[in-house]
Amino acid sequence: MKAAIVPVLISLAFFLQFCTSKSAIDTETLVRRDDQVIREYLAEKNIPAQKLSTGIYYQNSKQGTGEKPTIGDTVYVHYTGNIIYSYVFDSSRFKDTPFQFRVGVGNVIPGWDLSVVNMRVGERGTFFIPSYLGYGISGSPQDRNTGVRSIPSNSILIFDIELLEIRKQK
């Protein structure tokens, strides 16, 4: 009886190890895929963007002269958000009202927190945000009225952001 259990336990251990490593491989594959898609897009559009240590690509279009925000600061920005190779899904410019959020406290997607801290007041630029720093596998939350997700899962996002103002944390 004991001899019959050993092969089953070995098979179960192998299966569990495969599941764990498969998950890690999928994450690594997604990171590589996003980076490749962004690089191809930048090449096709002849956009000179630099890759930040976070995996986000950045093209500066207007230098800022003010200070940079830090975690806990409230920032005011104008932005336009696009899905790569697709459509504009939102813009504060359409509403003519700046968007505000506290940096680093989870009020926005991780890609925004990681992007805005690299900007100075008055700066404007375009960030190419990999899906894992955007809405990830789940996509954007469903709209309360329509039940529709405006951003599908694993979408690479492009944000044109202008940092207008920083209100320091008190």
User: Which CATH number fits the domain that encloses residue 119?
Assistant: 3.10.50.40
**Average pLDDT, integer, range 104-110:** 93
| 73 annotated active-site | no
Quote the pLDDT of residue 2: 43
pLDDT digits (tens, 9 = 90+) for 76-102: 999 999 999 998 989 999 988 999 999
pTM of the model: 0.81
In a domain, 132, yes or no: yes
| 109 annotated active-site | yes
**Which of 57, 99, 128, 135 is labelled catalytic?**
135
What domain range includes position 62? 48-167
In a domain, 147, yes or no: yes
Please report, for residues 22, 127, 130, the alpha-carbon distance to residue 30 in angstroms, rounded to integers and kept in the order given. Answer: 12, 18, 9
In a domain, 111, yes or no: yes
Quote the pLDDT of residue 88: 92
In a domain, 37, yes or no: no
Quote the pLDDT of residue 19: 41
In a domain, 154, yes or no: yes
**Which of 56, 109, 129, 166 is labelled catalytic?**
109
**Which of 57, 58, 79, 127 is labelled catalytic?**
79
| 56 annotated active-site | no
Please state, in angstroms and rounded to a whole number, the distance separating the CA atoms of residues 67 and 46: 30
In a domain, 109, yes or no: yes
Quote the pLDDT of residue 147: 67
**Average pLDDT, integer, range 46-53:** 96
Please report, for residues 100, 132, 136, the alpha-carbon distance to residue 147 in angstroms, rounded to integers and kept in the order given. Answer: 25, 23, 18
In a domain, 78, yes or no: yes
Q: What is the full DSSP assignment across 48-78?
A: --EE-TTS-EEEEEE---SPPP-TT-EEEEE
Number of structural domains (the chain) is: 1
**Which of 41, 89, 101, 132 is labelled catalytic?**
89
| 79 annotated active-site | yes
- Where does the pLDDT of residue 161 fall: very low under 50, low under 70, confident under 90, or very high at 90 and above? very high
Q: Which amino acid is at 102?
A: R
At residue 152, does pLDDT exceed 90?
A: no
In a domain, 134, yes or no: yes
| 83 annotated active-site | no
Quote the pLDDT of residue 149: 67
| 38 annotated active-site | no
